[in-house]
């Protein structure tokens, strides 16, 4: 009988000891969490593509442990709003000063916009060949090349020599990214003063850049503009 009582007491004491141990551990964890200091830093609320002007609805303040926060993390949203994303931001990405730039800064460095393996090449345009000066930086265009072919012809009736002119147009390049129009590398807004431009700078592979330069020197170049509307998004809206 006494041995059973001893066994029961031992089991009860073991359970009590275990409960007290777990309570002690939990109290230590809670105390440690309470002692951790958090700071607020600016992060992207959603995907922000490169060269996008950052607005207030694209960013948010999030809390991170002070010890784990990047020393250069921006802590004030006003330091980010109105700036330009210099790279693609994923949702929840903490924004650092070298991730963003101002329009004035970016207007000085077109080389920052050129993707690796590509080149920037400018061509002359006029009001018509630039789609009435409506093409903007970051638009996608196709390049049309028009040339005149002269052919000497002798008429069988009179034997007179005349020049026969044949005009041909070909699709030279497809889906080309526009880096700049004139000296402007940022998409215009309602507040941007209109200035007619006479050149467009395109992003091309070295091979296509050579092809474009040769074509521009031997004929006329015209740009045709792609739509920015996503057909899949349109179909979703219609449904």
Identify the helix (H) or strand (E) that includes residue 216: helix 206-218
Per-residue pLDDT of the chain (239 residues; tens, 9 = 90+): 666 677 676 666 777 677 766 776 766 655 545 567 889 999 999 999 877 889 999 999 999 988 888 889 999 999 999 888 878 899 999 999 988 877 665 555 677 778 889 999 999 999 999 999 999 999 999 999 999 876 665 666 655 665 667 889 999 999 999 999 998 887 887 777 888 999 999 999 999 999 999 999 999 999 999 998 865 454 555 55
Look at residue 207 in the predicted model and tell me its pLDDT.
Answer: 96
How far, in Å, CA of 227 to CA of 135, rounded? 11
Is-contact 89 45, C-beta < 8 A?
Answer: no
How far, in Å, CA of 231 to CA of 233, rounded? 5
Burial class (CB in 10 A: 0-12, 13-18, 19+), 216: middle
How far, in Å, CA of 212 to CA of 91, rounded? 38
Query: And the tokens for 164?
Result: 């026969």
| Top CATH class, 38-101 | alpha beta
In the chain, domain spans: 38-101, 113-228
pTM score: 0.53
Look at residue 157 in the predicted model and tell me its pLDDT.
Answer: 62
Phi, psi of 67 (to 5 degrees): -70, -25
Is-contact 107 149, C-beta < 8 A?
Answer: no
Other CB atoms within a 10 A radius of the CB of residue 17 amount to: 10
């Amino acid at each position: 009988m006494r041995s059973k009582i001893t066994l029961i007491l031992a089991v009860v004491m073991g359970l009590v000891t275990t409960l007290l141990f777990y309570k002690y551990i939990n109290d230590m964890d809670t105390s440690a969490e309470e002692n951790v200091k958090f700071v607020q830093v600016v992060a992207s609320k959603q995907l922000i593509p490169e060269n996008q002007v950052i607005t207030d609805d694209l960013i948010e303040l999030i809390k991170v442990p002070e010890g784990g926060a990047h020393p250069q993390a921006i802590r004030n949203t006003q330091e980010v709003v109105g700036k330009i994303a210099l790279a693609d931001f994923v949702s929840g990405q903490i924004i650092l000063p070298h991730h963003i730039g101002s329009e004035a800064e970016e207007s000085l460095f077109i080389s920052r916009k050129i993707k690796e393996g590509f080149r920037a090449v400018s061509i002359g345009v006029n009001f018509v060949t630039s789609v009435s000066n409506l093409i903007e930086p970051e638009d996608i265009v196709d390049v049309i090349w028009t040339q005149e072919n002269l052919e000497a012809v002798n008429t069988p009736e009179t034997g007179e020599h005349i020049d026969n002119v044949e005009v041909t147009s070909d699709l030279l390049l497809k889906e080309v990214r526009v880096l700049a129009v004139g000296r402007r590398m940022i998409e215009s807004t309602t507040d941007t003063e209109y200035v007619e431009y006479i050149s467009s700078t395109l992003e091309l592979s070295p091979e296509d850049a050579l092809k474009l330069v040769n074509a521009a020197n031997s004929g006329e170049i015209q740009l045709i503009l792609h739509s920015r509307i996503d057909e899949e998004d349109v179909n979703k809206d219609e449904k």
